[in-house]
């Protein structure tokens, strides 16, 4: 009786420790996201915390600066092209890898996943050399192509995981009833994995929208939003970056909400 | 009789259709494969060729002979190891919390891990600069409460780099461990407890071994990603913390020393492959 009571008391202590520990880690994870909010609404030209007065000054600054806007639109454009290209190519790869039976499939799978494990600095250096021979350095199309390589494994992971849950029998049944292989794929299988396709496209977009190292090598000055942010952080820590940061966090929250509503499998690597 | 007579023909047709389907599935991979071959694999092979240009290993000799570059490699491995260890210590209990807490709390916790995971790396790095700087929020708080007299050096040193890297990489550890923990049969722990095992014994002899595959997967991911980290050490290290990725960028962008840079790239890739194989081997011998 006493032993059991001691056991339950010990368990409660362990539970409290676990919750406290997790709470501290959550604080550690969220704190950086939270601090940029007050600073972005600061009226001060310096990083003061807490800000002396609040205003929308730095948001206006961002919206009035063609350099920031150009970089932002270019990043959106590159992100959209990357999302479309990576989703189409990645979905085809995922269907092939999950459904197909052909020699060398295991090797192909490892090859498709390789861009995740390769440090982006190594890939950037390699791509720079290739792209410079085709005069693609400094073009947004070149960055989009390299970002597509980067996003491809993420799409294959998300779409492949969803495809494994789809019963192939429905597709076979459609074919048995006279549908062609392609029609069965298009009208039976693809609608079933639509949530994964939505998630994959958004994940590809975000991965491109955030990517810096490739854009640093293949782009030029102020080519993409992350490059512009990197330079600003390096040379002039003014609160415009805080405003940009808040806008980026808002964008991510919107994307996560869209994925939550229409998508599936937000958590990668799991 | 009529039916059996028709069967072989139908079977044959189905077989040929299956064969055609197999070919079609293989062909679906072609566009993605071609893109990867041309824009991913070819440049890497080209980079490898560049590192041994003129057929000599001179660039590799330079990498390994000078204490400088070897030192940077060791520094990178040490920092990556430290970051991995911290991620494990911070993340293991958090993954357990996510897997066992009541639904509402678990969802809140997941949000706390997912939101930073999706937030731009630059936003987070910038925020750490605001927090850790000499006039940063943390130092101001500590000085104003009288805990310290002078601001602590938190930024532009290894401490800042490690904090920033742990913040970025922690979710990569938590997700795989969490996924494994969800699948652990709770009855096993209840049985061990019922047989009189104290809590820490249950943890050490039941829970930890059962969740080890997740720990190994998460640690591998964190360690490998940490080896190639560039942006966080570049900004939070302030040029004082040297890692391989920074060295490569320096050699290409400032020195235009392509030969040495490509050799450094190859050694980095080799280091990643070796650690991947080593950790995998370690995981196998643990579970065996």
Closest CA to A130 of B246, B49, B266: B49
Q: Does the beta-carbon distance from B245 to A119 stay under 8 Å? A: yes
Model confidence pLDDT, tens digit, residues A112-142: 999 998 999 999 999 999 999 888 899 999 9
Q: Does the structure show a pLDDT above 80 at B76?
A: yes
Handedness of CA B235, A228, A152, B174 (dihedral sign): positive
In a mutational test of the A interface, the residue from B15, B27, B43 whose CB has the highest number of chain A CBs within 10 Å is: B43
Share of chain B above pLDDT 90, in %: 64
In this structure, are residues A231 and A174 in contact, taking their beta carbons and an 8 Å threshold? no
What span, in angstroms and rounded, lies between the C-alpha atoms of A108 and A102?
Answer: 10
Instruction: List chain A residues with CB under 8 Å of B20.
Output: 181
Section A193-213 average pLDDT? 94
Least-confidence region, from A115-124, B135-144, B151-160 = B135-144
What pLDDT, on a 0 to 100 scale, did the predictor assign at position A267? 45
Confidence of residue B13 (pLDDT cuts 50, 70, 90): low
Q: Is pLDDT larger for residue B146 or for residue A77?
A: A77
Q: Which tens digits make up the pLDDT trace of B168-199?
A: 999 999 999 999 999 998 888 888 888 888 88
**Mean pLDDT of the region B104-132:** 93
B-interface mutation test, from A90, A119, A182, A205, most B Cβ less than 10 A away: A119
> Alpha helix locations (H) across B30-155?
30-36, 42-51, 58-65, 67-100, 103-118, 121-132, 137-144
pLDDT computed for residue B286 by the predictor: 59
Contact A35 B131 (CB under 8 A): yes
A93 in B contact zone (CB under 8 Å): yes
Q: Indicate which CATH number applies to the domain containing A146.
A: 1.10.3720.10
CA distance B29 to chain A (A): 5
- Whether residue A34 lies inside any domain: the answer is no
A256 shares contact with chain B (CB less than 8 Å): yes
- The pLDDT of residue B179 is 94
Is the confidence at residue B128, as pLDDT, over 80?
yes
Helix (H, G, I), strand (E, B) or coil at A28: helix
Does the pLDDT of residue B99 top 60, yes or no?
yes
**Residue A4: predicted pLDDT:** 52
Smallest Cα distance from A3 to chain B, Å: 10
Q: How far is A139 from chain B (nearest CA, A)?
A: 15
Q: Report the domain count for chain A.
A: 1
Contacts of B116 in chain A (CB under 8 A): 29-30, 32-33
The DSSP-derived string for A188-214 is: IIHHHTHHHHHHHHHHHHHHHHH--HH
Contact call for B93 and A230, based on CB within 8 A: no
pLDDT band at B87 (very low <50, low <70, confident <90, very high): very high
d(CA A70, CA A136): 19
Indicate if the pLDDT at residue A266 is higher than 60. no
Please tell me the predicted confidence (pLDDT) of residue B4. Answer: 45
Q: In this complex, how many residue pairs, one in chain A and one in chain B, have their CB atoms less than 8 Å apart?
A: 246
Q: Report the 10 Å Cβ neighbour count for B21.
A: 15
Q: pLDDT value at position A168?
A: 85
Q: Which residues 6+ apart lie within 8 Å of A152 measured at CB?
A: A86, A89, A90, A93, A112, A115, B32, B35, B36
Per-residue pLDDT at B25 exceeds 60: yes
Per-domain residue ranges of chain B? 57-286
A249-264 pLDDT, tens digit each = 999 899 888 888 887 6
- pLDDT band per the 50, 70, 90 thresholds, residue B14: low
Quote the pLDDT of residue B271.
94
The whole model's pTM is what? 0.90
Residue B193 tokens read as 């407890």
For residue B6, name the pLDDT band (cuts at 50, 70, 90).
very low
Average pLDDT over residues B80-88: 98
| The token pair that represents A47 in the structure block | 């990083």
| pLDDT at residue A118, rounded to an integer | 94
C-alpha distances (whole Å) from A184 to each of A84, A162, A188, B149 are 22, 17, 5, 72
Which residue, among A11, A18, A29, would best test binding to B if mutated, counting the most B CBs under 10 Å from its CB? A29
- Rounded to an integer, the average pLDDT of B40-61 is 90
CATH fold for domain B57-286: MetI-like fold (1.10.3720)
> For A191-195, A206-210, B277-281, which range has the lowest pLDDT when averaged over its residues?
B277-281
Neighboring chain A residues of B28 at a CB cutoff of 8 Å: 92-93, 95-96, 100
Residue B249: predicted pLDDT = 94
ipTM of the assembly?
A: 0.89
Cα(B275)–Cα(B287) distance, integer angstroms:
18
- Residue A85 belongs to domain spanning: 72-225
Indicate the pLDDT class of residue A10, thresholds 50, 70 and 90.
Answer: confident
pLDDT for the residue B21: 79
Residue of B nearest to A115 (CA): B40
Is A204 a domain residue?
A: yes
Q: Give the pLDDT band of residue B217 (cuts 50, 70, 90).
A: very high
């Amino acid at each position: 009786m006493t032993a059991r009571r001691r056991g339950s008391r010990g368990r409660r202590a362990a539970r409290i420790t676990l919750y406290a520990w997790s709470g501290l880690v959550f604080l550690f994870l969220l704190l950086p996201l939270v601090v940029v909010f007050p600073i972005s609404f600061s009226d001060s030209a310096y990083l003061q915390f807490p800000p002396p007065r609040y205003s929308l000054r730095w948001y206006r600054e961002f919206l009035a600066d063609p350099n920031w806007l150009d970089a932002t639109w270019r990043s959106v454009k590159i992100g959209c092209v990357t999302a479309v290209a990576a989703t189409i190519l990645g979905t085809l790869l995922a269907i092939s890898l999950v459904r197909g039976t052909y020699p060398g499939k295991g090797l192909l799978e490892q090859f498709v996943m390789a861009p995740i494990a390769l440090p982006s600095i190594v890939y950037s250096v390699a791509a720079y050399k290739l792209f410079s021979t085709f005069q693609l350095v400094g073009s947004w199309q070149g960055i989009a192509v390299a970002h597509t390589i980067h996003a491809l494994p993420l799409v294959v992971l998300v779409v492949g995981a969803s495809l494994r849950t789809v019963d192939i029998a429905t597709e076979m049944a459609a074919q048995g009833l006279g549908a062609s292989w392609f029609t069965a794929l298009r009208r039976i299988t693809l609608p079933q994995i639509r949530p994964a396709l939505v998630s994959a496209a958004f994940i590809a977009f975000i991965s491109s929208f955030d990517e810096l190292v490739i854009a640093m090598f293949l782009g030029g000055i102020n080519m993409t939003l992350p490059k512009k942010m990197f330079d600003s952080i390096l040379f002039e820590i003014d609160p415009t970056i805080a405003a940009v940061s808040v806008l980026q966090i808002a964008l991510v929250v919107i994307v996560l909400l869209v994925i939550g509503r229409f998508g599936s499998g937000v958590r990668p690597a799991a | 009789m009529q039916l059996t007579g028709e069967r072989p023909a139908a079977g044959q047709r189905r077989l040929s259709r299956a064969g055609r389907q197999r070919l079609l599935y293989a062909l679906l991979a072609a566009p993605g494969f071609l893109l990867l071959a041309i824009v991913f694999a070819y440049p890497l092979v080209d980079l490898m060729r560049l590192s041994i240009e003129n057929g000599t290993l001179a660039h590799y000799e330079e990498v390994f002979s000078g204490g400088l570059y070897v030192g940077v490699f060791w520094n990178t491995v040490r920092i990556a190891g430290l970051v991995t260890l911290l991620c494990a210590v911070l993340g293991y209990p958090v993954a357990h919390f996510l897997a066992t807490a009541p639904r509402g709390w678990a969802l809140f916790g997941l949000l706390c891990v997912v939101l930073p995971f999706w937030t731009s790396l630059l936003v987070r790095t910038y925020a750490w600069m605001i927090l850790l700087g000499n006039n940063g929020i943390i130092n101001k708080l500590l000085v104003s409460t009288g805990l310290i007299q002078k601001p602590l050096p938190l930024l532009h040193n290894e401490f800042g780099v490690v904090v920033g890297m742990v913040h970025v990489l922690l979710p990569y550890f938590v997700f795989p461990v969490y996924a494994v923990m969800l699948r652990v049969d709770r009855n096993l722990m209840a049985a061990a407890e019922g047989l009189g095992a104290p809590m820490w014994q249950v943890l050490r002899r039941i829970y930890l071994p059962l969740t080890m595959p997740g720990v190994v997967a998460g640690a591998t991911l964190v360690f490998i990603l940490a080896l190639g980290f560039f942006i966080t050490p570049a900004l939070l290290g302030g040029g004082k913390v040297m890692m391989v990725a920074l060295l490569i960028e320096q050699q290409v962008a400032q020195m235009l020393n392509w030969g040495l840079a490509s050799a450094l790239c190859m050694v980095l890739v080799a280091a990643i492959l070796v650690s991947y194989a080593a950790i995998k081997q370690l995981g196998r011998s643990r579970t065996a």
